[in-house]
Structure 1
Amino acid sequence: MSSQYTARLKVLQLPDEPFDENRLPLQIGSNVSVEHYNDFLNRCESSGYKFQLRDNGDVFIIDMAYREHEFIVSLLQDYFKIPNGGVILNPPIDVVGQPFHYCPSGNGEKIAPDIAVYPSMDYIPKPTLPYPGPPPSDINAKLWRQEVRGFRVWDFGTLQTGSQVASECNAPNLPAYQVNIPVSDVFWNPPIIAGVPVVAGYAEIVPNTINGNNFNIDLYQIQQLSLKVQDNN
């Protein structure tokens, strides 16, 4: 092992002392390359922490498997399974937790999302050419990588962020606190030519076994689950 590699690993390590989520994000490394970060993930996969590599090479623990976190992840996974209509063996939509994927930025960084939602391999068209084939998504499988379509942030606690003012997220089924994600996004799979998705004239094909057009997530229900788990700690 080179001295440079050893030096990098010395500044990327888990904390020795116990800590809780109030200290997050917690920096645990600096000047770390993607290669060495991926190696660190391979060794710390079962640590119960979620890590993030930033553009400047700093590495942080950004989340951890505390009880509240795991309950909410489980609920969200259930939301994404609803369109399967109760099918649990070979469903049209697969929902799994923390599979290693390569970051959509294409820099080779591994990421482990709390929830990965993707179509069953039965609905992934085979490439017309055996090589180079589709770009990698899951690190152990060849899948068509989904388009990155941006994100939105909701403030759905009982209090508005940074204040003692009650939030308006105070009942179920409030339109402002519904997350509606088209199920068709899961099956977004345009042909790829020379590494570029060809989206002109393309339309997703959703299996007729799917129930409903959207994943509907009520943020009030997530808020209430969080409070319930806190009360039971």
Structure 2
Amino acid sequence: MASPEHEGLVMQLIYAFIIPNSGIHVNPPIDIALKSFHYDPSNVRTKIAPLDPEPPPGDVNLNPHARVIVEVAVTEYLDFLNRKCEKWLLQLYIRSVFRIKIYDKLKGTNNRTMKAKLWTRQILAPAESTPSTLASWDFGTLQFNSNQPTGCTGAGLPNYTVTIPVSDVFWDPPIVAGVLNLLGYTAGISNTVVANNFVIDLYLLQQIVLLKQ
């Protein structure tokens, strides 16, 4: 069973991702699923991630494959969580992976360390690096492995705001002879979508954790 902190974060993240749907509830342009099964990219048929490489991939029920993945962890170790996120990126159809790790409350206080990381394909990665660029945030009340406060002290702070392009969700290049044709391709966005970016305010997530702990 998920902890109150985990459930609170998931609900807030769902809200952030449905805002561009502009209130459309039946067959919305942006669909959100919780823990839907996808196949492992190493072809071992484990139901966690996508089957690779045959396009277009789907989930185990052949629904369109997820383009944006969000992982939230309270009890999972950070190394395991990062490996899991990087494994998702073996599937080209996944455009962004966002993960949040919440650490245990500091003994005798309400302070808590919280870290976020975003892997994205929006900018080309350096040669011989992982398949995407990434950004990270230390957004709890205390910095990681420190008793010093973070700068995440209010809503709307640019340095603690995560943006993910809505166009990531609609990335669906043509397939020619079984191969993705990316030449000149730009993802289009449904005309019913009302925002260009998903916006995640990390201060709001921080406050949810503090209220739920």
Deviation digits for residues 187-215 of structure 1, max 9, x if unmatched? 00001235432111011111111001000
Give matches, 1:168-183, under 5 Å. Answer: 168-183=151-166
Supply the RMSD in Å over aligned alpha carbons.
Answer: 2.1
Give matches, 1:91-130, under 5 Å. Answer: 91-104=28-41, 108-111=45-48
Correspondence for 1:4:
none
Question: Normalising by the residue count of structure 2, what TM-score does the alignment of the two structures yield?
Answer: 0.63
Q: Report SS of the residue matched to 1:159.
A: coil
Give matches, 1:51-200, under 5 Å. Answer: 65-104=2-41, 108-111=45-48, 134-143=55-64, 146-148=93-95, 149=121, 150=132, 151-200=134-183
CA distance in 2, matches of 1:153, 1:105: 27
* Pairwise CA distance, 1:107: 5.2
Deviation digits for residues 21-45 of structure 1, max 9, x if unmatched? xxxxxxxxxxxxxxxxxxxxxxxxx
- Which runs of 5 or more residues in structure 1 are unaligned? 1-47, 49-64, 113-132
- Which runs of 5 or more residues in structure 2 are unaligned? 67-92, 96-120, 122-131
Alignment-mate amino acid for residue 137 of structure 1: G
Between 1 and 2, higher relative CO (CA 8 Å, sep ≥ 6) is seen in 2
Structure 1 position 208 matched with structure 2 position 191: yes
Question: Normalising by the residue count of structure 1, what TM-score does the alignment of the two structures yield?
Answer: 0.58
Alignment-mate amino acid for residue 178 of structure 1: T
Of the three residues 182, 188, 203, the one matched with 1:220 is: 203
CA distance in 2, matches of 1:212, 1:104: 31
Equivalences, count: 147
Q: Report SS of the residue matched to 2:6.
A: helix
Deviation digits for residues 71-106 of structure 1, max 9, x if unmatched? 101110111000000111111111121111124565
Q: Indicate how the Cα distance of structure 1 residues 68 and 144 shifts in structure 2: closer, same or farther if over 3 A, else same.
A: closer
Q: Indicate how the Cα distance of structure 1 residues 147 and 164 shifts in structure 2: closer, same or farther if over 3 A, else same.
A: same
CA distance in 1, matches of 2:43, 2:171: 19
CA distance in 1, matches of 2:63, 2:36: 14
Alignment-mate amino acid for residue 38 of structure 2: H
Deviation digits for residues 129-169 of structure 1, max 9, x if unmatched? xxxx8433211115367244334332111100011000011
Q: Report SS of the residue matched to 1:74.
A: helix
CA distance in 2, matches of 1:180, 1:218: 9
Alignment-mate amino acid for residue 89 of structure 1: V
Alignment-mate amino acid for residue 59 of structure 2: D
Q: Which structure carries more helix by proportion?
A: 1
The runs of at least 4 consecutive aligned structure 1 residues that moved more than 6 Å come to none
Contact persistence 2:59–2:65 (CA under 8 A):
no
Q: Report SS of the residue matched to 1:153.
A: strand
Q: Indicate how the Cα distance of structure 1 residues 189 and 106 shifts in structure 2: closer, same or farther if over 3 A, else same.
A: farther
Q: Indicate how the Cα distance of structure 1 residues 158 and 216 shifts in structure 2: closer, same or farther if over 3 A, else same.
A: same
Q: Indicate how the Cα distance of structure 1 residues 184 and 221 shifts in structure 2: closer, same or farther if over 3 A, else same.
A: same
